[in-house]
Structure 1
Amino acid sequence: MSELDWYLQINLKARHLRLLVTIDTYRNLTQVADVTHVTVPAVSKSLAELERGLGLTLFSRTTQGLMPTPYGDCLIRHARTMLTVLHQARDELKALRSGTEGKVHIGMLPASASVLLPQALSLLKQRSPGTNVMVTEGTTALLLPELWQGHLDLVVGRLPPPDTLGSFEEKELLEEPVLLMTGHHHPLARKKTLEWSDLRPYPWILPPPGSILRDPLERALEAHEVPLTNNYIETLSVHVARAQLQVSDFIAVMAGTPGGDSAQPLHTLPLSLPRLLRPAGVLWNRNRGLSPSAQLMVACLEEAAERLQPGPGAPSRGASVPAKAKRRHPSTTVQ
């Protein structure tokens, strides 16, 4: 066993990991000493001992403060991951000791999980009242790195393109059509027949550039010779879109069955868009596995998806249809 192997496997401790992360955060020994409630010489000594034990220089002293070397960058990245795992283990142990059944950290993609996730959470609380959940809403670009780093257990919503998944595992849950929506007062809502050209005069509520839906939507509208005007609002918020449709003549593009809200009823325009998106589903990092609480949450999501399917016979327009469950095992890694 080399000196490096010995130090990493035998002598590296959680306090070393916390020290690395704290130095990387503040890049200044005085600030590190303040937040860790020790003296500057003590911080300097601990860092020197760690570098000596590893036989590597982890930080360079510069006029801008302590800057990680390539060795430091590598170890800091893994230190953050290991501390996250330790915190998760602590939370599970505390939950077991207190009689609760754990906590699940879920990332929710806006709009596409707005119906599925609440129903799944209701099922979870019926089955396991002691299992608690933290839900964080965000975009794919924000949530996938959090899932990779272990800050989230699951991400629920519209599944991203397969080439972005990396080492994430997925389960498809619901096929949800993309619909054109307006308020009931909208001039188009009163027309018995509708042509694509009828959409041209009206402003739009659009998903932002870079979102999963934006590019395929623009291509679909261009195919029907409906250019997007310069009069639009960009948002991923279902609440903002609903509220705007109630008071304006905007047209919104929404997934699933957004028209059935009795508080803010919407009108579905009778124009069919092609399949623009992948199904709604759930993602997790297969390199980390799932805690029992997260496994239960996945089971509740599957059951909620089954309950959201239409009754016997052909699905009605706008109905959500359970997607065939599927897991992906890509070989590349997303970081």
Structure 2
Amino acid sequence: MKTHQLNVLVTIADTGSIRAAARTLDLSPAALTRTIRDLEADLHVPLVNRSATGITFTEYGRALVVHARLVVAQIAQAEAEIDAMRRAPAGKLTVGVTPWVALAFLSETTRCFLDQMPDVQLEFYEGLAGVVQPKLRDGTIDFVIGRLAPVTVQSEFRHVPLFVTHSTVVARRGHPAAHARSLAELTDATWLLPWDAGSRDSHAHILFRRYGLAEPKRIHYVHSLAIALAQLADSDMLSIFPWPLVESDMVRERVCALPIGDDLEETSIGIISRRGQPMSSVAECFVQCLRNVISDGVRSSDPDRRRLFHAIEVVT
């Protein structure tokens, strides 16, 4: 297998046809067809099914596309690394970010990073682990800032902890249960909770089981922070947010924390990357900027800024 063959395969998968891939690569459709046939001959298996309506990938083709994406991405990263050593860093950095982490820390981290590497193009994906991990796996994303499902910590991904934080119950201001002091008082409430496809059990099942309580009967799930905030602000639903998110200006204007005395879940946030693949100097710079933002916030003399970081324990 040759690099240009894998690049052709990935481009066909991304564009959906040989003609579209040919336009993207500025080559003729006939040249791409020959490339795929040569690759099939080398591997002794069919990679695509050809018909009058176009092509589809065989099971061999689909399997090879997954590996081809990683190879192509790794080569692009190597080229960017060499370019960075020769001159001012450029290229592109793609980061997956858990939504609440993005809202609490991302803008300041981005400013810090672009001050140091103004010629690097940034691309962000917002999503829970079940959304961004497939993109990390195929090389679309360079690394993820978020929570890693425990079952994969020691397998295909590497997880470097950044900080630990806790969560609290939130509701709209003036909610009838605004003065509740325990989860036991809230089992009859309607809940709106995040659902992470990377977790075996639901958020509510784990939380209420810990205190020997029955899981609430009325639970709805949400995959968007914006949707969650809109729903909470205009209803009597309850949710569970990490403390740094609760203390952010945008959220504090719309919901408030309930004075729950129970010790809710502890969340470890870290950098998730493909195991066995070194991070580029550009990625390392971004991670260091994030570390600096968090460390400076924890030690800040500004009470408003320090409030955002009061529930964070930095992992050294």
- For the aligned pair, the TM-score class normalised by the smaller chain equals 0.7 to 0.9
The letter of the residue matching 1:322 is: E
Residue 257 of structure 1 aligns to a residue whose secondary structure is helix
Aligned with residue 321 of structure 1, among 300, 312, 316: 312
Residues 97 and 202 of structure 1: is their aligned pair in 2 closer, same or farther, counting only changes over 3 Å? same
Q: Which residue of 2 aligns with 1:255?
A: 242
Q: Which residue of 2 aligns with 1:57?
A: 45
Residues 214 and 265 of structure 1: is their aligned pair in 2 closer, same or farther, counting only changes over 3 Å? farther
The letter of the residue matching 1:319 is: H
Query: Displacement of 1:55 after TM fit?
Result: 6.2
Check conservation: 1:257, 1:318, Cα contact below 8 A. Answer: yes
Query: Displacement of 1:116 after TM fit?
Result: 3.0
CA distance in 1, matches of 2:26, 2:108: 46
Q: Which residue of 2 aligns with 1:288?
A: 277
Q: Which residue of 2 aligns with 1:229?
A: 217
Check conservation: 2:135, 2:141, Cα contact below 8 A. Answer: yes
The answer to whether structure 1 residue 240 and structure 2 residue 227 are counterparts is yes
Q: Which residue of 2 aligns with 1:204?
A: 191
Check conservation: 1:111, 1:237, Cα contact below 8 A. Answer: no
Residue 96 of structure 2 aligns to a residue whose secondary structure is strand
Query: Displacement of 1:114 after TM fit?
Result: 2.8
RMSD over aligned CA atoms reads 3.9
Query: Displacement of 1:156 after TM fit?
Result: 0.5
TM-score w.r.t. the length of structure 1 is: 0.73
Residues 246 and 72 of structure 1: is their aligned pair in 2 closer, same or farther, counting only changes over 3 Å? closer
Aligned with residue 124 of structure 1, among 113, 116, 125: 113
Residues 200 and 94 of structure 1: is their aligned pair in 2 closer, same or farther, counting only changes over 3 Å? same
Number of residues of Structure 1 aligned to a counterpart in Structure 2: 308
Computing the radius of gyration from Cα coordinates, the structure with the larger value is: 1
CA distance in 2, matches of 1:178, 1:85: 37
Check conservation: 1:196, 1:224, Cα contact below 8 A. Answer: no
CA distance in 2, matches of 1:18, 1:132: 22
Check conservation: 2:97, 2:144, Cα contact below 8 A. Answer: yes
Residue 111 of structure 1 aligns to a residue whose secondary structure is helix
The answer to whether structure 1 residue 83 and structure 2 residue 109 are counterparts is no
Residues 201 and 102 of structure 1: is their aligned pair in 2 closer, same or farther, counting only changes over 3 Å? same
CA distance in 2, matches of 1:42, 1:239: 46
Check conservation: 1:199, 1:226, Cα contact below 8 A. Answer: no
The letter of the residue matching 1:285 is: R
Residues 103 and 203 of structure 1: is their aligned pair in 2 closer, same or farther, counting only changes over 3 Å? same
The letter of the residue matching 1:139 is: L
The answer to whether structure 1 residue 185 and structure 2 residue 150 are counterparts is no
TM-score w.r.t. the length of structure 2 is: 0.77
Q: Deviations over 1:261-304 (max 9, x none)?
A: 44515322122444534411111124221111101111112222
Q: Which residue of 2 aligns with 1:3?
A: none
CA distance in 2, matches of 1:144, 1:303: 25
Residues 273 and 48 of structure 1: is their aligned pair in 2 closer, same or farther, counting only changes over 3 Å? same
Residue 58 of structure 1 aligns to a residue whose secondary structure is coil
CA distance in 1, matches of 2:230, 2:62: 46
Higher strand share: 2
The letter of the residue matching 1:225 is: L
Residues 275 and 65 of structure 1: is their aligned pair in 2 closer, same or farther, counting only changes over 3 Å? same
Residues 273 and 145 of structure 1: is their aligned pair in 2 closer, same or farther, counting only changes over 3 Å? farther
Q: Which residue of 2 aligns with 1:330?
A: none
